[in-house]
A and B are shown apart, each in its own frame.
Chain A
Amino acid sequence: MLEARHVTFSYDGIQPVLRSIDLTLQRGETLLITGPTGSGKSTLAKFLCGFIPRIVRGECSGVLSIDGDDADSLTLTEIARKVSLVQQDPESQICTLTVSDEVAFGPENYLIKPEVMTRLVDSSLASIGSSHLAGRLTYALSGGEKQRVVIASMLACQPDYLILDEPSSSLDQKGILQLGQILSELKKKNLGVICIEHHLEPFLPSADRVLSLSEGRLFPWAQDVGRRGGPFQNHSVLPIETDALASMKNVSFAYADRPVIRRVTMAIHRGEVIALMGDNGSGKTTLLCLLDGLLNPLEGEICLGANSVKRLSKKDIAKKVAMVFQNPNNQIFERTVSREQLLTLDVLGLKESRLTENSGARLDEAGLAEFKDRNPFALSHGQKRRLNVCSAVVHDPDLYLFDEPFIGQDERGQRFITNTIAERARTGGACVVATHDLPFAAEYCSRLVFLENGSLLFDGRPESVFHRLEQTGRPEYSLGKVAS
């Protein structure tokens, strides 16, 4: 049994992140932990793996015991053999160049013989349905494939307990369903599993218990009525105009020799909230970059209003379009939160009083007003993401392009971003949101564009696209999943 008793932890010795936590996990048990951003979930995971207080410093008290042994009497590698942690970002956890080397990394460190290791690598990859990835290069994998490889590499260490920190964040719908099945398989193998998640639904069938961590304390979880709440229910707020706000005609794009977008034609009208969906690697991010004029199409034409993007300067495009990328750290440039938010106004010469006043209100709505003088890089992941949104839309451009904006967001963050999107559509703009979030697409979008291998497969109202996806053998996108 993995047991934590009376655990209290603070990074700075002042503000406790964990407050007298008691937690037990039996082998063969699956425990889900949820809670708002910054509530201490990842910190708890690091404590249970022994990284706190050995590597991550702070003021710590409490006892961790693993199968009856006090963790204080064990070295970090001895703990690691029993308890493995899959962290949030798979990209940062991969340390070798090929998948089989990556899965073998742990066994190599534990001096497993090569002939045994070969079997271990094969069985670990097979247990997560990824045997076909064995010979692939790690940096060429999609986000979902990387996540699976990281889980396989932890399983190859043959731990007794596995902790997964937001494992679904990089996965598409198919990947999330597969992950749910993987959790059930791990349970059958008598592994104790803790899964930390914002989106519990896919994992509830395999869970024995669900706990909620809030303000450093654990509580039994109670199901919420609505995830986002908010005023914007069931889409389509403006009559759709015939003149397109943005359009692309027969657009194709390739990275080197690899085609990513194939002859896509679509138009975006004022009042629309478009969910851009598709499996990992289907070309969603590339399509957003093309719409923002950040990539040049190999063929076809992209227009903002009546003007070709090619003929517009970057500043002209920036005035009309706001883009939020996936990694929050890649799009923060200034030294304080408020300067970061106002940077676009400064660069574009739009420092009007109305926009500056609105920016303060938006920062407040995002729950960031109290941090306005703080360094933005010191914010949590979810807070940085909200700041990205605040900074990108500060000048009220017509078109918002958001790439997976809900990753790592708790309910409050989701509500803020959803409201921002809804507000833009309501006031005559449009939004395109690349997402794997089925409930968002079903409940808040007026249109769903589904990409497959860079081609536009379906385009229509979300319920009809979901229906057609289900009919064409993609049950992971069925509306039943949304309802559940």
Chain B
Amino acid sequence: MTSRTGFIDRNTILHRLNPAMKLCALVSIAVATIVYPSWRLSAIVLLSILVCFRLSHVPLRLTKGRMKFILTFAALMLLLQIIVIENGSILFYLLPQIGSLGPFFPVTDFGIERGLDIVVRFLLIIFSSILFVSITDPTLLAYSLVRIGIPYRYAFSLVLALRFLPLFDSENNIVRMAQQSRGISLEVGSIHKILRSVRYTFFPLLVSALSRVDSLSLSMTGRGFGYSDKRTYLRITHWSPSDWAILAISVIFTIFCFILALGLLPQVSRFL
């Protein structure tokens, strides 16, 4: 089952991992990638993330919609870096010399290296985030955050946000259809028209949202939200040995990247 929050419900080992641990692993990858910007190390982690997609039965759909946009954007970033950076040894020219004209746009080893540094890290952060969202039940994530000490009122705001996102999305569509049905087209010709267009969209959505907030607040209070400092949960998240093992690997990996970034392992960083 695929939800509009992005979660794809499957029964795989990755889905069964503790959501809080998955969040820690995601943060570890992001921090490590920023601390030690190496495309080789990032490529190794990216490869393992792609394996995880396979293991969790989450389809990548590289040629569709959002994913297609991400890959195109990454390719453009790589091209831009290659064109802009002229430092390093020249490998070849994008536009070779024709007669007395050119050559133009030298491609250097440093330019390629910098481009890959940026693009591979960009893809790693995006793909690991998509994997996290796809294999993590948001409700269980909120519950597991409570278990590690975050007050349930704050953790629950995550569930509420995800609950109402699809609703506001559909209300936005209805408001736009209601505008069209009255012949209103959103215009941007002048400040006055821009403000009017914003008002015509923003006011109906705001009023609708506020009226829902009142009802929701009564509904939650009417079911005892805030009755005690603690809550029980229908679905309980556990920490299994594999959770601890992956958490340990994530922490060690982050520390390793800090050590590499500080130049304490020059013989290793030469290869990464």
Contact = CB atoms under 8 A, between A and B. Distances in A.
A114 B232 contact: yes
B163 interface: yes
B192 interface: no
B266 interface: no
A344 B223 contact: no
A87 B212 CA distance: 11
Interface size class of B (residues with CB under 8 A): 35 or more
A84 B171 CA distance: 28
Chain A: interface secondary structure?
Answer: helix
Interface stretch (A92-100, A167-175, A268-276, A432-440): A92-100
B182 A325 contact: no
B163 A325 contact: no
Contact of B218 (A51, A112, A117): A51
Chain A contact patch, size range: 35 or more
A95 B180 contact: no
Nearest to A89: B215
Interface string B222-244: 11111110111111100000000
B163 to A, nearest CB: 6
Contacts of A105: 220, 223, 225
Interface in A302-350: 314-315, 317-319, 321-323, 325, 327, 329-333, 343-344, 347-348
A138 interface: yes
Query: What secondary structure prevails in chain B residues at the interface with A?
Result: helix
Interface string B180-194: 111111000000000
Interface string B1-42: 101110000000000000000000000000000000000000
Contact of A314 (B162, B183, B221): B183
Interface string A44-88: 001001010001000000000000000000001100110011011
B163, B181, B233: which has the most chain A beta carbons within 10 Å? B181
B160 A55 contact: no
Given A77-B224, A110-B227, A392 B182 contact: yes
B139 A330 contact: no
B224 A327 contact: no
B193 to A, nearest CB: 12
A225 interface: no
Given A55-B221, A121-B234, A96 B227 contact: no
Given A55-B218, A108-B233, A329-B204, A348 B163 contact: no
Contacts of A97: 3, 5, 138-139, 159, 162-163
Nearest to B234: A104
A249 B119 CA distance: 50
A46 B212 CA distance: 16
5 contacts: A49-B222, A88-B215, A97-B3, A343-B184, A392-B182
Given A110-B224, A333-B184, A391-B182, 13 more contacts: A80-B224, A92-B211, A95-B156, A96-B163, A97-B159, A101-B234, A101-B235, A104-B234, A106-B224, A317-B181, A318-B181, A318-B182, A319-B183
